[in-house]
Structure 1
Amino acid sequence: MRTRFRPDHQLTARMLLTIFLLGLVYVVFIAVLVALIKSLVAIVLVVAALLFAQFWFSDRIALYAMRARIVTPEEAPQLHGIIDRLCATANMPKPQVAIADLGMPNAFATGRSQRRAVIAVTTGLLERLDADELDGVLSHELSHIAHRDVVVMTTASFLGVLAGLVARFTLYSTMFGGGRDRRNGDQLFLLILAVMAVSATVYAVSFLLIRALSRYRELAADRAGAILTGRPSELASALTKISGDISRIPSRDLRTEQPFNAFFFAPAFGAGASLSLLLSTHPSLEQRLNQLAELANELGKES
């Protein structure tokens, strides 16, 4: 279905480039594993099963991990009402709506397609934002769905997950393996070291590529969402409020949420957190606010 979100050709190009590079690394990774382990059937079966599970059950996995539940219009009338209006404006199918019982103010989108998509918000977000600010956040999340960001990021992150699993499996094999003579044991140890080295390299490369794509998709969703509502100031206000509130939450309380930063509207970093731009899933708050200010100026000239 064609939505009223403006097509973002730069986002599409970056997604295609990232997927191409990840695919190239993926092919090399599998080729090395086949050469080292010499069991093509086993590798293909494991890879296919993991990819299918991550793609097909991505919405359920994300909702379960974030302790979110699907809510009906009767349970959350205001939230459903805002999403109904935004979906009508964007001319796109309405996603399922979920609420996560978390004090941290945030939101995320998940699902393998527009018709299987879910938008989830935390109770902390609903308590802190007014209706206009919630408009800005939800239009941002709908942009992720319209541009298929969720599917691309889920597929792209699979390679890093696979590499991590292989490295962990080989480590456990080294620790708990036994019953081999010295010569065979030495050869197996070298094989395991080689697999772990390849897996670690693949994980590092895919990690950096996915982080770069994640930062750009956040900027693209900010822009598309603000254009849909026509009021960038709503999103800027929500970003400022959420980031300020998250910074006051003790870091120890955020650690369980930080692995899900790539899904979140705003990263779960406490006060004093500092990560280089290269490793971050999100652009800096300053960069996001500057883009929204420029967009507000552009929209003001057009009106």
Structure 2
Amino acid sequence: MRNRFRPDHELTARMALTVFLLGLVYVAFIAALVALIKSMVVIVVIVGALVWAQFWFSDRIALYALRARVVTREEEPRLYAVVERLCALADMPAPRVAVADLDMPNAFATGRSQSRAVVCVTTGLLRRLSPEELDGVLAHELSHVAHRDVVVMTTASFLGVLAGLVARFTMYSSMFGGRDRRGGGGFPVVLAVMAVSALVYAVSYLLIRALSRYRELAADRAGAILTGRPSDLASALVSISGDIARIPSRDLRAEQPFNAFFVVPAFGAGAGLSALLSTHPTLERRLDQLAELAIELEA
């Protein structure tokens, strides 16, 4: 479905390269498993069913986990007005709108398609942001919807989940002596399968995190171009990050598993190794991109 969100060819190329590398890792993984344990049909079917359920019910799962509810136009007229205006500007159908009763200022988008999409904001975000900053954040989230990011991330994560399940399945099987009774290589094969699975899981984890960071940069850029005011999103990111930093860590840990959804992670991306493991680019990287974009738009 076409819309007016401008493509970012550089970031698209980076995401395509990451997906290609994931594909190479997964092909090597399947080849190694076929060589080592001959049949993976049952495991693939199980994982496929789990990933399909995650994809198909992603909107319901996210809303339930974050205690959010879909609201009507009468309940949140300000929020609906912003979403509908931005959707008209982007020439895309308006998603459902939800609110989570959380003090942590944040927002996320989920849903397997534009027709099932949900854009959710927390009550903490609505209290803290100015109308212009809210525009910037919601344009960012609508970019995720327009670019089908839930589909991209679910597809990319499939064999990473499979690798983790294979490692556990092999370990439990060896503990109960399943392979010894059937023959087929015994303990060395168990070790080989677990080593390959662990390696694939680690590599795919890093690549998926890199893909998530590219996805956030692309959404920042597309959302800022849609509003024509990169400074509004930059101001919102600074405000949200500063407010999150003042929330006690113990109160943020419950929300940390949902970092990949949020516009700003519950725990910010640091430097070095922590930056490689983060779902989001550093705040500095995002602000630098928005500053460069502001100069481009003014030229």
- 1:201-239 residue CA offsets vs partner (Å, 9 max, x unmatched): 111111111111211221111111111111111111110
Tell me which moved more, 272-281 or 9-18: 272-281
- 1:251-298 residue CA offsets vs partner (Å, 9 max, x unmatched): 222122222212110011179998532222111111111221222222
Q: Which residue of 2 is the match for residue 12 of structure 1? A: 12
Q: Which residue of 1 is the match for residue 49 of structure 2? A: 49
**Given residue 244 of structure 1, which amino acid in structure 2 is its aligned partner?**
G
- 5+ unaligned residues in a row in structure 1: which ranges? none
Q: Which residue of 2 is the match for residue 212 of structure 1? A: 210
> Is the counterpart of residue 29 in structure 1 residue 40 in structure 2?
no
Could you say what secondary structure the match of 2:69 adopts?
Answer: strand
Deviation at residue 113 of structure 1 after TM alignment: 1.6
**Given residue 210 of structure 2, which amino acid in structure 1 is its aligned partner?**
A
Closer, same or farther in 2 for the Cα pair 1:249/1:205, shift >3 Å? Answer: same
What is the CA–CA distance in structure 2 between the aligned matches of 1:271 and 1:179, rounded to whole Å? 43
Q: Which residue of 1 is the match for residue 94 of structure 2? A: 94
Closer, same or farther in 2 for the Cα pair 1:44/1:118, shift >3 Å? Answer: same
Closer, same or farther in 2 for the Cα pair 1:98/1:274, shift >3 Å? Answer: farther
TM-score, L = length of structure 1 = 0.89
- 1:2-55 residue CA offsets vs partner (Å, 9 max, x unmatched): 111112222332232222221222222223223333324323422432332232
Closer, same or farther in 2 for the Cα pair 1:195/1:100, shift >3 Å? Answer: farther
**Given residue 205 of structure 2, which amino acid in structure 1 is its aligned partner?**
F
**Given residue 110 of structure 1, which amino acid in structure 2 is its aligned partner?**
T
Could you say what secondary structure the match of 1:109 adopts?
Answer: strand
What is the CA–CA distance in structure 2 between the aligned matches of 1:180 and 1:210, rounded to whole Å? 32
Q: Which residue of 1 is the match for residue 225 of structure 2? A: 227
Q: Which residue of 2 is the match for residue 164 of structure 1? A: 164
What is the CA–CA distance in structure 2 between the aligned matches of 1:34 and 1:20, rounded to whole Å? 21
Does the 8 Å CA contact 1:163/1:199 hold for their aligned counterparts?
yes
Does the 8 Å CA contact 2:136/2:227 hold for their aligned counterparts?
yes
| Identity in percent | 78
Does the 8 Å CA contact 2:99/2:123 hold for their aligned counterparts?
yes
Q: Which residue of 1 is the match for residue 196 of structure 2? A: 198
Does the 8 Å CA contact 1:249/1:270 hold for their aligned counterparts?
no
- 5+ unaligned residues in a row in structure 2: which ranges? none
Deviation at residue 62 of structure 1 after TM alignment: 2.2
What is the CA–CA distance in structure 1 between the aligned matches of 2:234 and 2:259, rounded to whole Å? 19
Q: Which residue of 2 is the match for residue 133 of structure 1? A: 133
Deviation at residue 86 of structure 1 after TM alignment: 0.3
TM-score, L = length of structure 2 = 0.90
Does the 8 Å CA contact 2:265/2:280 hold for their aligned counterparts?
yes
Could you say what secondary structure the match of 1:104 adopts?
Answer: coil
Could you say what secondary structure the match of 1:82 adopts?
Answer: helix
Q: Which residue of 1 is the match for residue 121 of structure 2? A: 121
What is the CA–CA distance in structure 2 between the aligned matches of 1:270 and 1:227, rounded to whole Å? 24
Tell me which moved more, 207-216 or 161-170: 161-170
Does the 8 Å CA contact 2:216/2:280 hold for their aligned counterparts?
yes
Does the 8 Å CA contact 1:251/1:270 hold for their aligned counterparts?
no
What is the CA–CA distance in structure 2 between the aligned matches of 1:109 and 1:200, rounded to whole Å? 31
Q: How many residues align?
A: 299
Closer, same or farther in 2 for the Cα pair 1:100/1:191, shift >3 Å? Answer: farther
How well do the aligned residues superpose, as a CA RMSD in angstroms? 2.5
Tell me which moved more, 49-58 or 154-163: 49-58
Does the 8 Å CA contact 1:8/1:220 hold for their aligned counterparts?
yes
What is the CA–CA distance in structure 2 between the aligned matches of 1:272 and 1:11, rounded to whole Å? 21
Could you say what secondary structure the match of 1:276 adopts?
Answer: helix
Deviation at residue 60 of structure 1 after TM alignment: 2.2
Deviation at residue 186 of structure 1 after TM alignment: 11
Does the 8 Å CA contact 1:233/1:292 hold for their aligned counterparts?
yes
Closer, same or farther in 2 for the Cα pair 1:78/1:172, shift >3 Å? Answer: farther
- 1:170-215 residue CA offsets vs partner (Å, 9 max, x unmatched): 334445x25897x879954433322221111111111111111211
Alignment of 1:42-81 (within 5 A): 42-81=42-81
Does the 8 Å CA contact 1:15/1:152 hold for their aligned counterparts?
no
Does the 8 Å CA contact 2:269/2:275 hold for their aligned counterparts?
no
Closer, same or farther in 2 for the Cα pair 1:19/1:46, shift >3 Å? Answer: same
